Amino acid sequence: MHWCCRDKSIDLSRPVVMGILNVTPDSFSDGGRHANLEAALQRAERIAAEGAAIVDVGGESARPGALPVAEAVEIARVVPVVAAIAARLKIAISIDTSKPAVMAAALESGACIVNDIRALQAPGARACAAQFRAGVCLMHMQGDPSTMQARPHYNDVTDEVSAFLRAQIGACTAAGIAADAIAIDPGIGFGKTLEHSLKLLRDLPRLAALEVPLLVGVSRKSVISRILGKDIHERLYGGLGLAALAVSGGARIIRTHDVGATCDAVRCVSAVLQGSEH
């Protein structure tokens, strides 16, 4: 399996890691730490050195309760970072945004993937991705970041998330996005209670059966705190456990803040599942 993202073909015969690079002042885990260009570039270099295949650059926080950021502000945050990474590193660059103008600016600057928590539903988003032949990741979210945790409800969360993602895959291919450019994300913690997230993690094989690469992000999320009662910076081991579970359930891409440790965990689980080190 390969994820075709513009001029890059990401080999998913074994699971890969996507390292998170937030260039926002208010992200839930590392807000403000990489807000200047040099700090962001150093973080990207670390992500690549620790073994990630993809760096995911985000200029707008999606934490629960987060408010929208103006398009121009988001572009000003992410474009210099994307351009600097593209000039210095060979790592695949993902832009974490829902705004078509931000997608286009980042893709023009060297990104090859659009990672969208709103699954390219904004007017013009699918056309933008198709025009650039970008890889895309379609995430499920009930509501939006400012309200998503108010009162999430599902009759069957796995059925509903699966149906939504299947519909968005169809909408993307109809818009001219190649099937081998599409990945999906169930959106753990995005408009879900703890019980919803746990059921989705148990049911990952059902989502993997949609026959496009499955991305899972659990790093430092509140689901870990709800289970362990740990502070945000004490969630590494819980996150590694859930990442290993996700790989065993069929995930091909693990999105994380903790790149080196996650790469080690993913590599070990993959070796067991495939019966070889390489």
Lowest mean pLDDT among 24-38, 81-95, 256-270: 24-38
Q: Hey, is 33 helix, strand or coil?
A: coil
* pLDDT value at 28 more than 50: no
Round to whole Å and give the CA distance between 142 and 161.
9
Q: What is the pLDDT of residues 42-69, one digit of tens each?
A: 999 999 999 999 999 999 987 776 778 8
Q: Supply the pTM of this predicted model.
A: 0.93
In 247-257, which positions are buried (b, 16+ CB within 10 angstroms) versus exposed (e)? bebbbbbbbbb
Q: How far is CA 59 from CA 40, 212, 233, in A?
A: 11, 26, 21
The pLDDT value recorded for residue 33 is 59
Contacts with 163 (C-beta within 8 Å, 6 or more apart), sequence order: none
Question: Rounded mean pLDDT of 219-239?
Answer: 92
- Cα torsion through 112, 116, 121, 122, rounded to 10: -80
Q: What is the pLDDT of residues 126-153, one digit of tens each?
A: 999 999 999 999 999 987 776 667 688 8
* pLDDT value at 76 more than 70: yes
Q: Residue 135: CA atoms inside 13 Å, Cβ hemisphere, count?
A: 29
Q: Pick left, alpha or beta for residue 34 (phi over 0 → left; psi -120 to 50 → alpha; otherwise beta).
A: alpha
**Is 199 labeled as catalytic in the residue annotation?**
no
**Topology, domain 2-274:** TIM Barrel (3.20.20)
Round to whole Å and give the CA distance between 205 and 186.
12
* pLDDT value at 29 more than 70: no
The pLDDT value recorded for residue 146 is 66
Domain layout of the chain by residue ranges:
2-274
Question: Rounded mean pLDDT of 263-275?
Answer: 95
* pLDDT value at 30 more than 70: no
Question: Rounded mean pLDDT of 214-223?
Answer: 95
Residue 245 near residue 266, CB atoms below 8 Å: no
* pLDDT value at 32 more than 90: no
State the first-to-last Cα distance of the chain, in angstroms, to the nearest integer: 15
Q: What is the pLDDT of residues 151-210, one digit of tens each?
A: 888 999 999 999 999 999 999 999 999 999 999 999 999 999 999 999 999 999 999 999
Q: Pick left, alpha or beta for residue 65 (phi over 0 → left; psi -120 to 50 → alpha; otherwise beta).
A: left
Question: Rounded mean pLDDT of 231-255?
Answer: 96
Average pLDDT over the chain, rounded to an integer:
93
The pLDDT value recorded for residue 230 is 87
* pLDDT value at 27 more than 80: no
Q: Which helix (H) or strand (E) holds 103?
A: helix 100-108
Residue 219 near residue 263, CB atoms below 8 Å: no
Tell me, rounded to whole angstroms, the distance of Cα 225 from its chain centroid: 20
The pLDDT value recorded for residue 62 is 79
DSSP 8-state class, residue 213? -
From 232, 261, 206, 183, select the one nearest 17 (Cα to Cα).
261
**Is 230 labeled as catalytic in the residue annotation?**
no
Lowest mean pLDDT among 38-52, 54-68, 106-120, 258-272: 54-68
DSSP 8-state class, residue 10? E
In 110-135, which positions are buried (b, 16+ CB within 10 angstroms) versus exposed (e)? bbbbbbbbbbbebeebbebbbebbbb
Q: Give the residue, 153 or 85, on which the prediction is more confident.
A: 85
Catalytic residue chosen out of the listed positions 77, 220, 221, 235: 221
**Quick one: tokens of 257?**
């803040």
Percent of the chain residues past pLDDT 70, beyond the cut: 94
